[in-house]
Structure 1
Amino acid sequence: MEAYLVAIAIIAAIYVLLTLGLTLQYGLTGLVNFGHVGFFAIGAYASALISMQGVPLVLSFACAAAIAALAAYPIGLVALRLRDDYFAVVTLGFGETVRLAITSEKWLTNGVQGIPGVPKAFAGMGIGMAGALATLAAVALACAVAALMLRRITRSPFGRVIEAIRDNEDALRALGKDPARFKIQVLALGSALAGLAGAFYAHYITYLSPDQFIPLVTFYVWMAMIMGGVGRVSGAVVGALLLMLFLEGTRFLRDVAPDLISAVDMASVRLGAVGLALVLFTLFRPQGLMGDYTRR
């Protein structure tokens, strides 16, 4: 049971990193990114491939974040020319393009067969609880640093500018500010967090395949942000933890009614339960758990 709980905690912390990145992009700046999973995949594959060449994991993690941030630069240029709804479609296409590239470029990624044998983080501590706990501590530390970074951003002049982009970009231009470079910087920072999350994921799971990076992952991250509270750093953390509670808690629905739910239908029931939770939050708590309680 302890090993199961630690494994769930690690995945939850990885989702916290992903949600913090999306909170910076959408919650604080208003950039609708439906391709967040693409940067998650770039970070995972970049760190895995680099580390398998003998590069220390610390450097491979840094490279994963940097490569994901660089990949966001052309998307940022697109953001300067498109309205929010069109930009959302472009980012969705970007995420799928990354997955298709991973599938087709077999010389690099081994295609649908995936990459086995990715070096495990803290492998020197063995495959037992010690290594898993060390991984959890490392991911939790990364989440804490990222959360503190976002808090500092929200209280800085940079944070006030990006919030102005979210609230009224035309008014910001009238004040003589250029939103373009701020959007690119925000996309790069949020994508770097997604790339770092991908690196942790790769070196914890130790096996990568394109099927792990489907658009559903982006949907889960959006759901975590909405449930926790859009634009709230604390909401990103609470929402990701609540998401994991829903995803793992629904695994035991069949134990409650084994005669009503077949093993084949269990996946659909779980997804339906998660979707129902999102609908209920949207209807009765649209500002999220950590949002402003004076709003209705």
Structure 2
Amino acid sequence: MITYLLFALVVGSVYALLAQSLMLSWGLAGLVNLGLAGFFALGAYASAMSTSWAHVPIPLGLLLAVLVAGGAGLLVCFSTLRLRDDYLAIVTLGFAEVVRLVASNEVWLTNGTDGISGVPSFLPRDTGLWFHLGALVIALLAVAAVYALQRRLLQSPWGRSLRAVREDETVAAVAGKNVVRFKAQAFSLAAGIAGLAGAIYGHYTSYVAPDQFQPLITVYIFLAVTAGGNARPAGAVIGAYLLVAFLEATRFLTEFAPGVSALQRAALREILVGLGLVLVLSLRPDGLLPERSQKAPGR
């Protein structure tokens, strides 16, 4: 039971990193990113390949994951800056599917659908409970570091300028703000955070495969950010842990459904997730922690 709880907390921490990534790109910059699973996958593969095949240290693999995902985010952002919100969402969703299909078919690069097994772990897996505790500590440290960074950014002139870009690009540009630069910085940083989440997840599970990065992950993270508050780091973190608790609760609830097969139980879980999203949007459209207006700093 303790191992199961630790596993759920590690997954919740990974989702908290993804939620903070989405909060930065969507909630703060107004860039609808439906390609979150793609950056998540890039980070996982970059760290897994570098540590498994090139035998680089795990910390360097994590850094490489952030750089690869952040660089990909920069390219995607520059290629879609002139698109409106709905078209940007479609392009980013297509990017995530391209990443997954490349990972599935380019066997020479990613080992195809067989995936990469034996990815080095933070601690030896035969240490039992300590393995899960070590992974949880590392994941929590990453969540805390990203949270502290985002809090600092939100309170800085950069954060205030980014919110101005989100509210009205034209007014921000007239005020002398470089709209393109702010969008690119926010999207790239958000993609790097998602890549870090993928790297931590890959080292924890010791296995990376294309099936782990379905578009459903993006839906889950949107639910987490919407529930917690899409413009506050604390809301994103709380929403992620609540999401994992909700998903695990539905796993047990569907077991009590009479005359339902295993496949139907899985579909029933997704129905409950959809109903949860509808309820959140109906009852708390601004999330548990709505965005607070900030006063201009005194001189």
How high is the TM-score relative to the length of structure 2? Answer: 0.95
| Secondary structure of the corresponding residue to residue 168 of structure 2 | helix
Q: Distance in 2 between matches of 1:82 and 1:152?
A: 29
Does the CA-based 8 Å contact 2:39-2:69 persist in structure 1?
A: yes
1:288 maps to 2:287: yes
Name 2:177's counterpart in structure 1. Answer: 177
Cα distance between partner residues in 1 of 2:167 and 2:289: 20
Name the amino acid aligned to 1:170.
T
Task: Give the whole-Å Cα distance in 1 for the aligned partners of 2:62 and 2:291.
Answer: 36
Supply the distance in 1 between the matched residues of 2:194 and 2:28 (Cα, whole angstroms). 16
Take 2:291 and 2:173, find their aligned partners in 1: how far apart are those partners? 29
Question: Cα distance, 1:85 vs. partner?
Answer: 1.1
CA displacement at 1:64 relative to structure 2? 0.5
Matches of 2:122 and 2:209 in 1, distance apart? 18
Structure 1 residue 108 corresponds to structure 2 residue 109? yes
Once the two structures are TM-superposed, the CA of residue 232 in structure 1 deviates from its matched residue by: 1.2
Q: Cα deviations across residues 45-78 of structure 1 (Å, max 9, x unaligned)?
A: 0000000121100100000111100111111112
The one-letter code matched in structure 2 to 1:254 is T
Q: Distance in 1 between matches of 2:183 and 2:59?
A: 28
Residues 224 and 240 of structure 1 are in contact (CA less than 8 Å); yes or no, is this contact kept in structure 2? yes
* 1:262 counterpart = 2:256: no
User: Are 1:232 and 1:291, in contact at CA under 8 Å, matched by a contact in 2?
Assistant: yes
Q: What amino acid maps onto 1:94 in structure 2?
A: F
User: Within the alignment, does 1:8 sit opposite 2:8 as a pair?
Assistant: yes
Alpha-carbon offset, residue 178 of structure 1: 1.4
Q: Which residue of 2 aligns with 1:87?
A: 88
Q: 1:260 Cα shift?
A: 4.2
User: Counterparts in 2 of 1:210-221, with a 5 A limit?
Assistant: 210-221=210-221
- Aligned residue in 2 for 1:242: 242
* Partner Cα distance (1:229, 1:106) in 2: 40
Counterpart in the other structure of 1:275:
274
Partner of 1:56: 57
Q: CA RMSD in A?
A: 1.3
Gapped runs of 5+ residues in structure 1? none
| Percent identity over paired residues | 45
Residues in 1 aligned to 2:209 and 2:155: alpha-carbon distance in whole angstroms:
39
Instruction: Give me the TM-score of the superposition, normalised by structure 1.
Output: 0.96
The residue type paired with residue 95 of structure 2 is F
Give the whole-Å Cα distance in 1 for the aligned partners of 2:262 and 2:51.
Answer: 38
Task: Report the equivalent of 1:152.
Answer: 152
Q: How far apart are the structure 2 equivalents of 1:204 and 1:274?
A: 25
How many Å separate the matches in 2 of 1:21 and 1:255?
A: 33
State how 1:185-204 maps to structure 2 within 5 Å.
Answer: 185-204=185-204
Distance in 2, Cα, partners of 1:79 & 1:255: 44
Partner of 1:67: 68
- Mapped contact 1:78–1:87 kept (Cα < 8 A): no
Question: Does the CA-based 8 Å contact 2:44-2:65 persist in structure 1?
Answer: yes
